[in-house]
A and B are shown apart, each in its own frame.
Chain A
Amino acid sequence: MDIPRVWRLIPQRYRLEGTQCSNCDAIQFPPMMICPECKSRNQKPYNLNGKGKVYSYSTVYAPLTQFEDMAPYVVALIDLKEGTRITAQLTDVAPADVNIGMDVEMVIRKISERGSNGVISYGYKFRPLIDF
């Protein structure tokens, strides 16, 4: 990813900013310009709280070129508390310890680099939920 896209995605990547419909209250991630439920264009930003459960997961051994240094890594579909689902990498966990239904929470991590001199982009990954 290059600079304009990295900057454009900051609200989503740093604070899980989705949208809530002002008409029917439906919550969406990624943000939608029109509500898929009621078709209202009146959408306001809504920050998801970043807690959820693993819906499915996979360990990637043959990654895209910009993720080669990180392989193998785990990607997952996560059911968020608000009722939406998100696609993200899991972190701070060994592939063998991941399971469907596991509680996870969002953290900020390095996502990728564009070449050796390029932009380093940061954003959400999910780790096993830690109870304090």
Chain B
Amino acid sequence: MRKVAIVGLAQVPVKENWTNGLRELAVTAVLDAMDDADIKNVDALYIGNMLGSNFSDQSNLGALISENAALDVNEAVTVEAACGSGSAAFRQAVLAVASGTVDTAIAVGVEKLTEYSEVSPANGLATAADADYEAAMGLSFVSINALLMRRYMHEYKCDKNNFAGFVINAHKNAVHNKNAMFQSAITEANYNKAKMIADPINLLDSSPISDGAAAVVITTADKASQYTNKPVLVTACEVGMDTIALSRRANPLRLKAVENSTARAFQVAGIKHQDIDVLEAHDAFSIMTTLALEAAGFAEFGKATQLAKEDIIGINGRLPLSTFGGLKARGHPVGATGLYQIVEATLQLRNEAPDAIQVPEPRRAMTQNIGGSASFVITNILERI
């Protein structure tokens, strides 16, 4: 397999974007990423999207986006793995280039959740769960995470307050990210007073409903210098799988897919936990951050909330987390999220993050993108050359 590098990137501001639809969001990200790489065409386009057919009445995004971006591609296709769709599309692009099938590819993630008024976006998000045995019984996606949070608090005798540090950190970083949905800090008092959505998950435990698109251009490491003087190597992009329904797991608090995806990624990249300088985790809910940090081996089971402190996960800590605000504060346009994480990690490694959130001279970044209740997980390791 050939070595692969990221040579261009772009992101559209995350928000409730009433003026743009799927096509405008995706085409903007694709064209801006090509401008960043100073490349005129690519061989293939891989699209991460979850809900185009639910909320935009649009499937066949490969044709829609390649035509509207005036791309002359050999191949353009959507890859879907719920909230993990963005990284799933990235993986197809990486594999296509690594295998020698294509020399250049774009991975774009795009999501448009604010199109319909008669059906809640929650209905679309719930399709990530088991339709017959979870969603059809009245479980929103938030409530599935709430079942995990309640059990976690019960088993580990943990106060809800313990999760606040993750949320405060994400918002603090997002203040400096002009593409973030919430560019505002919050306090522990705000967190404690927030409205319940699915007890014990409140509004500030949760990432927001948002629209967005982000893209990267990739090629081989050998050709990367043709396009950029700051290429970033993709040293691992590895998947882990688990059951679709929570009820089918022996111990739902141990995210097997996170464990397997992380272990494979570390093995492929030849690294250990202490080698990670920046971590973009899938903080869709504060409980998911917690469980993923434990399953990935950054904390012992039951102890991840002890990491939720400024001197550990802050920009100058030993494990900078959600450095652009994470899903919580940058926003979570589901199928685009994996690519926002990759774009942000790449900006960190290029030393191009805004000053206040630039991690000092990072060498290696990890992004982890989770689909469903951690039924599909991708861990990416990116390295500065």
On A, residues with C-beta under 8 Å from B are 1, 5, 9, 12, 29-30, 55-67, 70, 73, 75-77, 84-89, 95, 100, 111-112, 121, 123
Contact = CB atoms under 8 A, between A and B. Distances in A.
Contact of A65 (B119, B134, B245, B248): B119
B131 to A, nearest CB: 9
Contact of B147 (A5, A57, A66, A70): A57
Nearest to A32: B248
Contacts of A89: 137-138
Interface residues of B, number: 36
A55 to B, nearest CB: 7
A85 to B, nearest CB: 4
12 contacts: A29-B247, A55-B151, A56-B147, A59-B198, A59-B199, A60-B143, A62-B197, A64-B122, A75-B137, A75-B147, A86-B133, A111-B136
Contacts of B147: 56-58, 75-77
Interface string B301-340: 0000000000000000000000000000000000000000
B241 interface: no
Contacts, number: 107
A34 to B, nearest CB: 13
A64 B123 contact: yes
Given A9-B132, A63-B122, A77-B252, A100 B150 contact: yes
Contacts of A77: 147, 151, 246-247, 252
B98 interface: no
A31 to B, nearest CB: 10
Nearest to A121: B136
Interface string B56-98: 0000000000000000000000000000000000000000000
B137 A123 contact: yes
A77 B122 CA distance: 20
Contacts of B123: 64-66
A106 B195 CA distance: 31
Given A59-B198, A87-B137, 9 more contacts: A5-B132, A30-B132, A58-B143, A58-B200, A58-B201, A62-B198, A64-B126, A75-B139, A84-B247
B150 A56 contact: yes
Interface in B99-145: 118-120, 122-123, 126, 130, 132-140, 142-143
A29 B134 CA distance: 12
A112 B135 CA distance: 11
A95 B199 contact: yes
B138 A61 contact: no
B154 interface: yes
Interface in B237-285: 245-248, 252
